[in-house]
Structures are given as C-alpha cells and as structure tokens.
C-alpha cells in the first residue's frame, strides 16, 4: 500500500519558490515511484500566507531550532524579521503531516523553512536546519533532503 510523505512542492515541479520558480528534481520523482510513496506537496511559506514570488529570506542569526526557541532570527532582504510568519508556516505544515498520516518528509535543502543539512545565513551557505524541518524533527518525523538520494 502506498505511504504518504511530505515533499517540498518545488521539488515536484510546482512554482512555489520565493522567485516563482520550481526546482523539479527527477531523482525525487524516481525515489517516490521506486519506494511506492505518495507525495503530499507542501510549501511552508505559502501555508503561512506569503505570496509567490516573495522577497528572499535568510537567517540573520541561528537556524531553525534557535528561531523556534526565540534565540535566532530569520529576515527578509529589507531586514524585516519574519520569525512569526515562518513559525506559522512550520506549524501549518505539521498539521498537514498529521492530517495526511505522514511520518517523514523529503525537503529542499538550503531553504529557510525546509533546509535539512544547510541553510543560508547572511549570504553564505552554512550547516543548519530550516524552521519547518526543526519543528517536524521535534515532533518525531524523519526529515531528509534531495541530496540524501
């Protein structure tokens, strides 16, 4: 029987990225087919109510776990603090996971929401987790990226 899995919508070819583009990944599609998985597309930023396209967002300090603990900051290019919005998107994504019966997620690395191994902090790619990834992990979901395939 096919199992549901949360998947970053951009990896499935949906134009949900901040720049209005997708990041269609054939390895992801093949993985889903080969493992009898049904993708549940999510974009935490859209679930938070942000438009597409939208201003680029990155971490000023910390990463996902620190933002959840109110010790980090995620900001837009114009320096607007986006913590509350990104946490709302993470919580909505967790609701989707529970509604769909997902116990794992396949997310786009490097994203401020979905980053699994790395994020962008002040213009540099650094080790860290996105806000949604951190929340899902805290709630017992397995999260991996397209780079793990």
pLDDT tens series, the chain, 149 aa: 899 999 999 999 999 999 999 999 999 999 999 999 999 999 999 999 999 999 999 999 999 999 999 999 999 999 999 999 999 999 999 999 999 999 999 999 999 999 999 999 988 999 999 999 999 999 999 999 999 99
Distance between CA atoms of 26 and 29, rounded to whole angstroms? 5
Largest CA distance in the chain: 47
pTM comes to: 0.97
Alpha-helical segments (H) within the chain: 26-34, 44-47, 64-68, 83-100, 131-138
> Which 3 state secondary structure label does DSSP give 38?
strand
pLDDT number for residue 123? 85
User: Pick from 128, 127, 135, 117: which is nearest to 6 by CA?
Assistant: 135
> Which 3 state secondary structure label does DSSP give 12?
helix
pLDDT number for residue 122? 84
How many other CB atoms are found less than 10 A from the CB of residue 107?
28
């Amino acid at each position: 029987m096919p199992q549901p899995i949360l998947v970053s919508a951009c990896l499935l070819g949906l134009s949900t990225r901040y720049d209005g583009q997708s990041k269609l990944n054939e390895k992801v599609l093949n993985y889903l087919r080969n493992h009898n998985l049904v993708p549940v597309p999510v974009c935490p930023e859209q679930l938070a109510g942000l438009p597409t396209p939208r201003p680029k967002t990155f971490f000023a300090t910390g990463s996902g776990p620190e933002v959840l603990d109110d010790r980090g900051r995620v900001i837009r290019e114009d320096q607007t603090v986006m913590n509350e919005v990104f946490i709302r998107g993470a919580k909505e994504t967790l609701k989707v996971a529970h509604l769909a019966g997902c116990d794992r997620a396949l997310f786009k690395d490097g994203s401020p929401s979905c980053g699994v191994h790395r994020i962008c902090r002040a213009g540099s790619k650094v080790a860290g987790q996105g806000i949604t990834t951190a929340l899902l992990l805290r709630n017992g979901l397995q999260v991996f990226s397209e780079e793990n395939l």
